[in-house]
Structure formats: structure tokens, C-alpha cells
Amino acid sequence: MDILFDDKTVVVTGAASGIGRSISTMFAASGAHVCILDYDREAGQTVCEEIEGRGESCSFYFCDVANQEDVHRTFQEITSERSRIDILVNNAGIAHVGKLQDTSEEEFDRIYEVNVKGVYNCMHAVIEQMVRQGGGVILNMASVISSVGIEDRFAYSMSKGAVLTMTRSVAKDYIHDNIRCNCVSPARVHTPFVDGYLKDNYPGREEEMFEELSKTQPIGRMGQPDEVASLILYLCSDRAAFITGTDYPIDGGFIRLNT
């Protein structure tokens, strides 16, 4: 069941590392032209060069998803070069650890700016283009935390809950414009963020804590970026044309087997 995206233009935010990197490389390998958006210029250009080195098609755009003017300018540049945007994957996001009383206004605002407003900005920038061209697909990155409570994740929970409800709203509002909008909700996935978190917070105990965090997933391990990317490719493909307004957990049983 090869899924091909020949002649499709795909925008992926936060594409320079982790899950975003896997999403970008999989789309490119499946024939799409991938527009890599990231705030890390060096890392984003590196991913793009790696994709082009395999003979696949991509372009890099430096973009701060929290800045609406920057986002609209970037999307206008993409459409002027590519004439259309078939798929938007809103993957960019940042994490925060802390319960309500440990969350400062500055921290709360920053999470909101990137994780909520960033998703809004990108959907706002692409939606008129998708309406004009007769359709498109939007895929948002939510989280298991959108559906269940997790300790010490107050601001992050707020942001991913908003992603889930924005997804359903957009799906309903634009269903007659042939625009599908879904989200995926990963549990803990082994990315460079996890390694950095363990290094900063548990120096000398990284391996021990990695095993402990892995075992919080009922399946006994963390997910892999490619596993999340594979689900996203399916949901963005024509094989999933009957799916919209839906959240897909990819969580090793975390939601259903822990509640």
C-alpha cells in the first residue's frame, strides 16, 4: 500500500528535528515537494539539503509561527512559487513542565503563542488558498494530554486541548469546501527533546530515567518519530478521504489502558 504524493505541495512546521523531520523526509520520499518551516535556520537548511541530496524535492523557509505577519508572508511566498498548498502539517510546538502555581504568566504566554496561536496563524494563512484551489488537508499535532490529565503539564495541557478543539471546528466549518482537518495525539515519543530533558534534569541518570519514562507507556516503550509520521502520511493521503474532524491517538495504549 504505497502512499504517493506526486506533484503535491506539503508544508510542515517545526520540521527541523524530531517528529517534524521524520514527517518531512517521509513526504519527500513519497514524491511530494516539502516546504520545511522552522525557527532554527541551520537545522532546517540541513534537513532540506539531506532531502535534496537523495534527489527529492524540498525548500526551506525561516519562519516564526508565533508571528502572524511572518507566517502570512511565508505562505504567500510558497504559493507564489508553487501556486498551491495541498497539505499543511502543524507540527511546531514547545513543551513546558509545571502545575498551575509553578507556571508564570511569561511561560503561559509563550506556550500559547507557539502551540495555540502558531497553529491558528498557519491555518489562517492557508485556508483561503485551499478554498480557492478546491480543497486541501490540514493535520494538527495534538497530544494524549488533549484527552487525559497528566501531572505537572498545566500550560502544555491548555495548548494541546486547544489544538484538538480547533481541529474539530475547522473540519466542520470547511467540510463543504473539500478541506479535511484531523489531528494526531502521540504519547511520549523518543526525540532529541527527550534526550535533552533527561540530560538537563537527571545528569548521570539518563539511562535509568529513560527506562522509567518508557515504562509509563503500557506497551513498554516510547514511540518513534517514524511511527507518528507514517500515521500522518496516511491521514493526509487520498486513502483517508473519508476521515475528517477526528483525533487519532498513537500512544502505545496510554489513553485506553491507563484510564
Do residues 154 and 231 both lie within one domain? Answer: yes
pLDDT tens digits along 3-14: 999 999 999 999
200 in a structural domain: yes
50 in a structural domain: yes
259 in a structural domain: no
Q: What is the mean pLDDT of residues 162-176?
A: 98
pLDDT at 201: 84
pLDDT at 256: 86
Q: Which of 192, 146, 148, 136 is nearest to 166 (CA)?
A: 146
3 in a structural domain: no
pLDDT tens digits along 83-137: 999 999 999 999 898 999 999 999 999 999 999 999 999 999 999 999 999 999 9
Model confidence at 225: pLDDT above 60: yes
Dist. CA 181–CA 190, nearest whole Å: 26
Do residues 150 and 180 both lie within one domain? Answer: yes
Do residues 45 and 18 both lie within one domain? Answer: yes
Q: Which of 39, 61, 120, 156 is catalytic?
A: 156
Do residues 48 and 99 both lie within one domain? Answer: yes
Q: Where are the beta strands (DSSP E) in the chain?
A: 9-13, 33-38, 57-62, 87-90, 136-141, 179-186, 247-250
Query: How does residue 152 score in pLDDT terms, banded at 50, 70 and 90?
Result: confident
pLDDT over 70 percentage in the chain: 99
Do residues 228 and 194 both lie within one domain? Answer: no
Q: What is the mean pLDDT of residues 151-170?
A: 96
Model confidence at 193: pLDDT above 90: no
Q: Which of 55, 63, 50 is nearest to 24 (CA)?
A: 50
- Sheet of 179-186, strands arranged across: 57-62, 33-38, 9-13, 87-90, 136-141, 179-186, 247-250
Do residues 194 and 100 both lie within one domain? Answer: no
Query: How does residue 174 score in pLDDT terms, banded at 50, 70 and 90?
Result: very high
131 in a structural domain: yes
Full residue range of the structural domain in which residue 240 is found: 9-187+224-252
Q: Is 156 a catalytic residue?
A: yes
Model confidence at 144: pLDDT above 60: yes
Do residues 204 and 138 both lie within one domain? Answer: no
Query: How does residue 259 score in pLDDT terms, banded at 50, 70 and 90?
Result: low
83 in a structural domain: yes
Do residues 167 and 89 both lie within one domain? Answer: yes
pLDDT at 68: 98
Do residues 50 and 99 both lie within one domain? Answer: yes
Do residues 214 and 233 both lie within one domain? Answer: no
Do residues 87 and 198 both lie within one domain? Answer: no
State if pTM tops 0.85.
Answer: yes
Give the domain CATH number at 105.
Answer: 3.40.50.720
pLDDT tens digits along 21-45: 999 999 999 999 999 999 999 999 9
2 in a structural domain: no
How many structural domains is the chain composed of? 2
Do residues 136 and 197 both lie within one domain? Answer: no
235 in a structural domain: yes
Residue 32 DSSP code = P
Model confidence at 49: pLDDT above 80: yes
Model confidence at 1: pLDDT above 60: no
pLDDT tens digits along 50-87: 999 999 999 999 999 999 999 999 999 999 999 999 99
Which DSSP string corresponds to 170-233? HHHHTGGGTEEEEEEEE--B--HHHHHHHHHHSTT-HHHHHHHHHTTSTTSS-B-HHHHHHHHH
The single-letter code of the amino acid at 103 is T
What lies within 8 Å, CB to CB, of 81 at 6+ separation is 59
